[in-house]
Structure 1
Amino acid sequence: MTQISDSEFDQLLTDFEHSAIHVETRDAYGTATELPHMAQWAAGEPDDLAWLQGWCATLRAHVAAGRSVRRARIVSEPLSDYQRWSYSIAGQMVGAGEDIRWIPRRRVSSIALPGNDFYLFDDRLVVFLHYAGDGLGTGKTASTNPDDIQLCRNAFEALWALAIPHSEYQPV
């Protein structure tokens, strides 16, 4: 596995050919971009989500080009504050073309999962996302190892079979 930079990862998010799949396993994250907006939400302040429009534009471009973007979120219930906030903004991304699905953690006990969140691009490259205990990102590693790719593909498909589409998921 090799370390990749944020700019290399950002390029992967725009340059894949067919599909990007993403698995999230944490109940809270702490990205510098998201935290101020989550704080607004927690304070009951409005957010026009302008900060999210770049990602939504990227998603619309992927859909227009025939590419798919799917995200499976494993969540504890009741949802953490982070996941309740995440649910409140997910409709924007779904509307732009990302298929986001939710899986209550109690449903995944028998699924073999990688030890980290990941993206799998075009079934050729997996990027593992690494986080500190407080949810702040600490790095990313990339792999083209067929065993890593197969583990991630199998985990995603097993999760997807149990996942609840965003429009049907009712937060607890």
Structure 2
Amino acid sequence: MSSNEPKFAELLAACTRSAVHLEMRDAYAVDNEADDFETWIRTGQRDTDPASEYWAPWVDLISSTVARGVTVRRARIVSEPVSDYIRYEHAATDVNVRAGEQVRWLPRCHASDLALPGNDFWLFDDHLIRWHHFAGNGAWVRQEISEEPLAAKLCAEAFEAVWARAVPHDQYEIH
């Protein structure tokens, strides 16, 4: 991220109505999750304490955003049977939900006929996109900010199509 690109918290702070996030990878190799993921693989235990050092910044950010009247939704398209990483994500998604996010899961086989962007993204107030670029191994590469109207329209339509088919977190069973 270059120094002139806004941080995620700044983008969320400027948001007035909605923030939606579409995740389409079956595995991520994000640096700040590495230790927690390794522990989960070894022990099956996942940090789900919203007040923990790991979760508190996210919980505070999302809960304050939702308290301002912004709707925060996250949809995940996943292959089934799911990867270990998706099991890991699912094991702690209740923390996201308790913070105020609405989360849904869509098995990839139900997304075949949907027009989807090539990258994960956050879309803020239906016009500002934060593209997420990852390496083939799931490592974070960079973000890209765009306000290109056709791309924002694609993201909004793709997200809503996924959301309409996806299963709410509390009803999604890992396969």
What TM-score bracket applies, with the shorter chain setting the length? over 0.9
- AA aligned to 1:114 is P
> Are 1:14 and 2:17 counterparts?
no
Q: Identity rate of aligned residues, in percent?
A: 42
Give distance in 1, aligned partners of 2:69 and 2:20: 15
Query: In 2 relative to 1, CA 165–4 (structure 1 residues): closer, same or farther, beyond 3 Å?
Result: farther
- State which of 72, 90, 95 in structure 1 corresponds to 2:93: 90
1:130-150 CA-to-partner distances (Å, cap 9, x unmatched) read 000110111111111110010
Deviating beyond 3 angstroms after TM superposition, the runs of 4 or more aligned structure 1 residues are 3-7, 45-49
Query: In 2 relative to 1, CA 160–94 (structure 1 residues): closer, same or farther, beyond 3 Å?
Result: same
**Number of aligned residue pairs:** 170
Query: TM-score scaled by structure 1?
Result: 0.93
1:19-65 CA-to-partner distances (Å, cap 9, x unmatched) read 11000000000111111101111111644441012101111111211
Counterpart in 2 of 1:74?
77
Partner-residue secondary structure (3-state), 1:8? coil
Alpha carbons 1:22, 1:119 under 8 Å: kept: yes
Compute the RMSD of aligned alpha carbons. Answer: 1.7
Give distance in 2, aligned partners of 1:127 and 1:7: 10
Partner-residue secondary structure (3-state), 1:29? coil
Query: In 2 relative to 1, CA 134–97 (structure 1 residues): closer, same or farther, beyond 3 Å?
Result: same
Query: TM-score scaled by structure 2?
Result: 0.91
Q: Runs of 5+ in structure 2 lacking a partner?
A: none
Partner-residue secondary structure (3-state), 1:36? helix
Q: Runs of 5+ in structure 1 lacking a partner?
A: none
CA deviation after TM superposition for structure 1 residue 5, in Å: 5.5
